[in-house]
Amino acid sequence: MGKIWKHSNIRFKIGFIGVSFFLILGFVIYYFPHQNPLQFFTYERGLPPSMKNLLGTTTLGQDIFWLLINSIHNSLTIGLIVATIGTTVGVFVGLLAGFVGGKLDRALSVFTDTFIVIPQLPILILMASLISGTATTFMMALALSMFAWAWPARQIRSMALSMKEREFIHTARFSGEGTVEIIVTEILPYSLTWMLSNFMNATLVAIAAESSLAVLGLSPAMLVSLGNMINWARERNAIFMEHWFWIGSPIITTVLLFICLFMLITGYNDYLSMKRGR
Residue 41 has pLDDT above 60, yes or no: yes
- Give residue 95's pLDDT: 85
57 forms bridges with which residues in the sheet? 63
Query: What is the set of domains in the chain, with CATH numbers?
Result: 61-277 (1.10.3720.10)
Say what percent of the chain tops pLDDT 70.
94
Q: What is the pLDDT of residues 82-120, one digit of tens each?
A: 999 999 999 888 888 887 878 888 888 888 888 888 887
Between 146 and 8, name the one with better pLDDT.
146
Contact (CB, 8 A) for 109 and 101: no
- The tens digit of pLDDT for each residue in 206-264 reads 888 888 888 777 777 778 889 889 988 888 888 888 888 999 999 999 999 999 998 88
Greatest extent of the chain over all pairs of C-alpha atoms, in Å: 74
Q: Amino acid identity of 163?
A: M
- The pLDDT value recorded for residue 254 is 92
pTM: 0.86
pLDDT reported for residue 215: 79
Instruction: Write down the pLDDT at residue 69.
Output: 95
Per-residue pLDDT tens for 46-70?
Answer: 888 988 888 999 988 899 999 999 9
pLDDT at 21 over 70: yes
CB atoms under 10 Å from CB of 98, counted, come to 24
Distance, CA of 266 to CA of 105 (rounded, Å): 31
Which of helix, strand or coil describes residue 181? Answer: helix
pLDDT band at 138 (very low <50, low <70, confident <90, very high): confident
Q: Where are the alpha helices (DSSP H) in 2-46?
A: 2-7, 10-27
- 101-105, long-range: CB within 8 Å, 24+ apart, which pairs? 101/164, 105/157
- Mean pLDDT value across the chain: 84
